[in-house]
């Protein structure tokens, strides 16, 4: 799925790296706990979260994620946007709740992967 399609499906505002909207992504995850993302997420390209702090950017960078979508009308600071821009991570904001955003992406073909503990 193109990141531009995620933008359209979630009616999201692009906050940075708009030039990368044509990139393909194949999986996503939703979490407000970055420790869970680090522990359980593998090969995810898109992170959906309502957590707004620099740890989100650092986590996405460590996990080689291409896109972060802030849900529930959350907006990152200018410093966070700058961090994401430096790392080439597309950052968007949506008014959707996480449950609805994840469901919308899933039914439109963007999958998650099984958690192996």
> Domain segments of the chain: what residues?
3-107
pLDDT at 97: 98
Q: Give dist(CA 26, CA 104) in Å, integer.
A: 14
Exposure string for 15-27, b = 16+ CB within 10 A, e = fewer: bbbeeebebebeb
pLDDT at 32: 94
* The overall pTM is greater than 0.85: yes
pLDDT, tens digit, 9 for 90 and up, residues 52-106: 999 999 999 999 999 999 999 999 999 999 999 999 999 999 999 999 999 999 9
Architecture of domain 3-107: 3-Layer(aba) Sandwich (3.40)
pLDDT, tens digit, 9 for 90 and up, residues 28-42: 999 999 998 888 777
Q: Give dist(CA 70, CA 73) in Å, integer.
A: 7
pLDDT at 65: 93
Contact (Cβ atoms closer than 8 angstroms) between residue 24 and residue 5? no
Q: Distances from the Cα of 25 to the Cαs of 82, 83, 101, in angstroms?
A: 22, 21, 16
């Amino acid at each position: 799925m193109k990141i531009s399609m995620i933008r359209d499906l979630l009616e999201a505002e692009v906050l940075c790296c708009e030039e990368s909207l044509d990139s393909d992504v194949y999986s996503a995850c939703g979490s407000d706990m970055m420790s869970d993302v680090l522990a359980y997420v593998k090969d995810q390209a898109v992170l959906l979260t309502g957590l707004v702090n620099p740890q989100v950017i650092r986590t996405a960078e460590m996990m080689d994620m291409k896109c972060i979508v802030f849900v529930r009308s959350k907006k990152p600071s200018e410093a966070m946007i700058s961090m994401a821009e430096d790392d080439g991570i597309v950052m968007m904001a949506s008014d959707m709740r996480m449950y609805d955003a994840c469901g919308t992406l899933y039914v439109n073909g963007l999958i998650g992967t099984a958690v192996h503990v």
